[in-house]
Structure formats: structure tokens, C-alpha cells
Structure 1
Amino acid sequence: METKIFNATTVDQAAALIKAGQLVAFPTETVYGLGADATNVAAVKQVYQAKGRPSDNPLIVHVADVETVERFAKPLSVSAKKLIKAFWPGPLTMIFNLKPNALAPEVTGGLTTAAFRNPNNAATLALIRSAQTPIVGPSANTSGKPSPTLAQHVLHDLDGKIAGILDDGATQVGVESTVLDLSGTQPAILRPGAVTAAQIEAVIGEPVLTEQHHVGATEVPKAPGMKYKHYAPAAQVYIVDHVKDWPAALAWAAKQDVSVGVMATDDVFTTNQLPANCEQFSLGEDVESASRELFAGLRHFDTETEIKDILCQAFENTGLGAAYMNRLNKSAGQTHFSV
């Protein structure tokens, strides 16, 4: 099929495709999502097919208002209402217990819970309202590949596989939303993101579990990114843990008989001589810019077949750095550069 490009002035046309059971990628403040009517089982099945996504990997449901959540979820707790007031619209996804048979198992992975998010993007909120239905929205990429932060990234992976893309330029955050499980006895972060554990705890006044990011091979994950390989380019990524390690890492790169990609902040490039066989991709000045640019850098080198190895800068595993390191560790398969 032809993949059409829409913008903020043609949102209603994109929404008409959603209503008709088609797939339309949409922008959020984090990454681009792949949208389909969350109440249309046939449309949801197409999402898995287009992405090559495992069927037990549940989908996040994107909504334009709290009332939509209340149609499907059991009564929201006081903590949930406080978090909605504090962080919606924004990069916080929350998992709630569902009313019986509220959503199809294709959305929930067969679970009795579902993840909901109210994205902070005007064009996408207009899309949801115009379509008059909540829309599922996993990242709009081939499953396992780096998430898309530009419409062009979506087109690279899914051109001809989906009906359209709502283009709203580059995303602002660059790593997917925080996923907070509120379906159990204690709140637990299943995927770190821009909304941190400390920020959540400050709102609800109780501790949040933070080391809940993985499930076993036979378990069904409650949230994306907990079970399957994610964010990985074709090249092998090596994490450079400390600034002092860069001279040794670049000396190693210089000895390779192929080109090596280097992803780091500007200070690394200004204080180190880049070998002739290395190509640089700037992560900006700090962890905030690095989080925004991480997937773009991985995708940049994924399009250059001569790049077989990528050296990428680590950050402290706190705050937004926890989200950045979660994605980087998965893209590298936990592989760190060592002297």
C-alpha cells in the first residue's frame, strides 16, 4: 500500500484511516507510535504483523482524556488520580486493572491489566479525538530495532506496510515513557523513562519499586521492553562506562579494519583525537540531549553498512540517566568496552 504523510492540518484524514481499521503512525513527546483502533481486534492484529512483534508483548493504549480510561479500567486509586493530575499529558504510562472483557487479549497480551497513556502532543491528541477511539501505540518501527524519533525513521521501517504517518517533526524526549504498574499492592516501575521514581514518590507519598524491568522466557510481560531484544542496530554496540576510558576505547577502534561509529557528548570529541576510521555522532552536551539523540544515532549508523561496531557513552544510572542506560544496555546486549 501507499504510506501517506499527514500533518497537523490533515489530522482528520489520518483519523479517518484509524476509524477504517488502518494503521497510522503518530508522534508523541517521546517516540513515534504505531496507531490502530484499540477496540478493533483486526486492526490491532495488523500492528503485530507490520512490526513483526511477538503476540505476547502487550500494547500501550493512548487516550485523550481520563474518562476514556475509566470506560475500560476498574475504579482508579487516589494515587492514580494524583499522578494523572501531575503528569498527564506527559511521558508517564500507567498500568491499571481492567473491567472484565474490557479490551481484547490482542491488546493486553491476555492479561487482566492494560497500560494507558495520555501523550503530550497536540497533533496526536487531535488524532485520538477525531478518531473517537483510544489507539494502541507501540513504537513505530520494526520490532527490536531502535525506536523512531522522526517520521523518516518510521518510513524507513514501515513504508508500504502502513496506511499513513502523522508527521510532527522530531520528538522532544527521545526515549519511551516511564511505565508504572499500579495494578498490584505496591507501585513498580516496569520501564524507566523521563518521569523518575523520585518524582512519582513525591506525588504519591509512598515508595516505588524500581528493579522490575525483566521477566522470564515463559512469562507474559505487563509492559513493552521487559522480555524481548530491543533498540538494537545491526552493528555491535559497546558501552564506554567512564570518560577516562575513551582514550583506550578510541585506540582500540583505530586498530579495527572497518569503520567504527562513536556516539558521545561534545566534550569527548573536543578532548580526544578521533581515529581516521571513526565516524562521530554527537549526543549533545548532557544526558538530556543524549536521551533525545540516542535512537537517532543508532539509526544513523544502522544505515551505514560499513559500520560494524559502535562505541557509545554511558551516563550515571539515576534520574533520566536510568532511562537512557536501560535503552543503551538493551541495544548493546549488556556489552561494555573493556581494556
Structure 2
Amino acid sequence: MILDGKLDASVQAAAAALQAGQLLGLPTETVYGLAADSDNDAAVAQIFAAKGRPASHPLIVHVADSAAITRYAKEVPLFAQQLIDAFWPGPLTLILPRLPHAAKASTGGQDSVGLRCPSHPVAHAVLQACQGLNPPVWGVSAPSANKFGRVSPTTAAHVASEFGDALLVLDGSACEVGIESTIVDCTRGVPVLLRPGAITRDDIERACGLRPLSKEELPAHTPRASGTLLAHYAPNAKVRLMEYKQLQAGLDILGADARNLAVYHRSPLSTASRNITLRLMPGEPQAAARELFGMLREFDQLGVQLIWIESPPDTPEWEGVRDRLTRAAAAA
């Protein structure tokens, strides 16, 4: 069932469902999440079961404000606090040392917890309503509302197509960001970028004065985090990342008989086939991120078997899009 997330009654119904241990399709500015009360182990277990997600793959806990951090994290380093001040609410997840009693089922057995304060008005309203319940729900675990490893949802209809009418889904319109949050590990004395997103390395450095390391630069004791498996975000069709010259050469070789192929490209292309689906990728990384998952879902709906995608520029502002496409291609 899809409820209009703009209605106060829908927000209250959503909060009550979470308090009762039910799952909820929750809009955020990044992607739609499959949400449950972080402190209800049985409810969190339903997330893993519904997604087919390994229990060792941790979930991100969403909170209404920075004050809720004290219920989950035992310490917040100075640079982490600077990132909170700069980017919360927003598409940034921080990995922090976990309090022993907090969100055990969501953290994959680790002594750290990923926390985020979403900026989407519907998500924010639900989280605030949850705090006002008796007993309150202080945090909501919400991985992307899709089957594990598949394309993330950016509309309420995407969520309904994954889980059917049995799931309560709040409709918050299409997601503004379109890819999952940036994840920064704050447990090892310096910021370590575990997953790129809309908030870039340059943004992080400007906010806290420290250039984030890559997890390859500090591999020891790297926490497991959402969306960091080699193969992830994959449509049903096989994805191949290609440079422009490879794309055009491939189309030339296939010729007029080419079919069952979609091409997502930035540079001008030509083809003799009328049976190929061509879609132009936006030239701005923010716009490309916003439509990326929706485009992959559209290609699947068209029934293509192959998706050729022109590789995005290897620059910091495109890192989030490149990351998602690289993982989608790795599932081929």
C-alpha cells in the first residue's frame, strides 16, 4: 500500500507501524529505504529476510537529529562532529564506535554503527514522529528497499514493484540525490571514505580540514559497510562499461541487425539499427546520479539483455556514479 507522505496522518501511521515492529518503505533524499525500528531485533531481522541480505552485511541507522547520536555511538571524534555540523541533515553516513547495547541486529556483529540524518522532509517527519511515541523509536534501520544486490529504488512505485501491496510505502516523490549516501569511517582517527556519494572527497576535506583516505590506503580493520561489495546495484541485463570509441566501434560491428541492447552514453553515437535503445546521460554528475537507477530499471522493463554504458569521467565529482556503475558491471 502506498500512502501520500505529505499527509500528517500518513506520517503518524508510518511511525506507528515502525513502533509495532512492521517494515516501511521510507523515502529519503538518496534512495527509498526498507525501514524498521533499529532497536527491535525481530523487526530488523525482517529486513534481512525480505531483501535476502546476509545478516553480516550491516545496516545504516537513520536518526532525526544529531542529539540521537548519544543513543548509538559512544564517542564522536572532532572531525566527525565537523562533518555532522556541515552535512547533517543530508546524504552522509558516519561510521562511529557503537555503544554495546545499541542496534545490535543492524551492525553485523561489529562494534561500530553507521549513522545518518536524512534531509528528505517526509523521512525527517517520520523520524520526529517516532521520537514522540510512547515508547519512542529513536533510530530506524533502512537499507535500500530492493532485493539484495539489485538496483536501488528512487520512487515509491519502484518499492511497490519489489515487495508488492503488502508493504506500507510512503510516497515522497522521486529522490533528489538518486544514489546512496557517502559513507565515512570515523573509527580510526582519520576520515576513511568507504563509499562515495553526492558529498565528495573535496567536500569532506573542506568541512574538516582532513583529506579522506581511501579504504585501500588503510585496509586493516576496515568496518563492513552498506553497498561496498564488489558486485552490487545490478539490473537483470548485463552491464558493460565502455569508453566512447569502444561504444561506437561496437555499434559499427553489430550493424543494422543489432537488438536487445540499450546504450547509455554522453558522447554522440550513430547506429544503423532501429532496434537499439539509446539514452543520453546528463553531462552534470548530480543530474546523472539522480536518474541513474531509474534508467537501469527502465532498461530492464524494456527487456534488453545487454546495457552498454559510457564510462563517466574519472574525476572526484563523478566518483559516486562511477562507483555504482562499476559495481553493477561487476555482477555481469
Structure 1 length as normaliser, TM-score?
0.89
- 1:152 is aligned, of 151, 157, 176, to 157
Q: Which runs of 5+ in 2 are unaligned?
A: 132-136
| Cross-structure match for 2:108 | 109
| Cross-structure match for 1:27 | 27
| Cross-structure match for 1:81 | 81
Q: Secondary structure at the match of 2:213?
A: coil
Q: Which runs of 5+ in 1 are unaligned?
A: none
Deviations 1:289-327 (A, max 9, x none): 21111111111111233x111111211122231111110
Q: Distance in 2 between matches of 1:334 and 1:17?
A: 35
| Cross-structure match for 2:142 | 137
Q: 1:101, CA displacement in angstroms?
A: 2.2
| 1:307-318 aligned within 5 A | 307-318=304-315
| Cross-structure match for 1:321 | 318
Letter in 2 for 1:107: S
Q: 1:212, CA displacement in angstroms?
A: 4.2
Q: 1:272, CA displacement in angstroms?
A: 2.9
CA contact (8 A) 1:55 1:109 kept: yes
CA contact (8 A) 1:109 1:220 kept: no
Residues 254, 156 of structure 1: alpha-carbon distance in 2 compared, 3 angstrom cutoff: farther
Bigger CA drift: 226-235 or 321-330?
Answer: 226-235
Q: 1:221, CA displacement in angstroms?
A: 5.2
| 1:154-233 aligned within 5 A | 154-160=159-165, 162=167, 164-212=168-216, 222-227=224-229, 229-233=231-235
CA contact (8 A) 2:38 2:44 kept: yes
CA contact (8 A) 2:11 2:122 kept: yes
Q: Distance in 2 between matches of 1:206 and 1:196?
A: 13
Q: 1:71, CA displacement in angstroms?
A: 1.6
| Cross-structure match for 1:285 | 283
Residues 12, 169 of structure 1: alpha-carbon distance in 2 compared, 3 angstrom cutoff: same
Q: Distance in 2 between matches of 1:250 and 1:8?
A: 46
Letter in 2 for 1:34: L
Letter in 2 for 1:196: T
Letter in 1 for 2:121: A
CA contact (8 A) 2:234 2:329 kept: yes
Residues 215, 184 of structure 1: alpha-carbon distance in 2 compared, 3 angstrom cutoff: closer
RMSD over aligned Cα atoms: 2.3
Corresponding residue pairs, total: 324
Residues 45, 253 of structure 1: alpha-carbon distance in 2 compared, 3 angstrom cutoff: farther
Q: Distance in 2 between matches of 1:214 and 1:292?
A: 31
Q: Secondary structure at the match of 1:96?
A: strand
Q: Distance in 2 between matches of 1:184 and 1:161?
A: 42
Q: Distance in 2 between matches of 1:294 and 1:8?
A: 25
CA contact (8 A) 2:28 2:175 kept: yes
2:328 maps to 1:331: yes
Deviations 1:132-174 (A, max 9, x none): 2210010011111111111111111111453x11111111111
| Cross-structure match for 2:260 | 259
Q: Secondary structure at the match of 1:179?
A: strand
Residues 257, 159 of structure 1: alpha-carbon distance in 2 compared, 3 angstrom cutoff: same
Letter in 2 for 1:136: S
CA contact (8 A) 2:230 2:327 kept: no
Letter in 1 for 2:186: L
Q: 1:211, CA displacement in angstroms?
A: 4.2
Letter in 2 for 1:202: R
Q: Secondary structure at the match of 2:302?
A: coil
Structure 2 length as normaliser, TM-score?
0.91
Q: Secondary structure at the match of 2:42?
A: helix
Q: 1:248, CA displacement in angstroms?
A: 1.1
Q: Distance in 1 between matches of 2:62 and 2:91?
A: 11
Percent identity over paired residues: 37
Q: Secondary structure at the match of 2:49?
A: helix
Q: Secondary structure at the match of 1:127?
A: helix
Deviations 1:229-262 (A, max 9, x none): 3111111111122x34432132244366532111
CA contact (8 A) 1:261 1:309 kept: yes
Bigger CA drift: 92-101 or 110-119?
Answer: 92-101
Q: Distance in 2 between matches of 1:330 and 1:214?
A: 21
CA contact (8 A) 1:214 1:226 kept: no
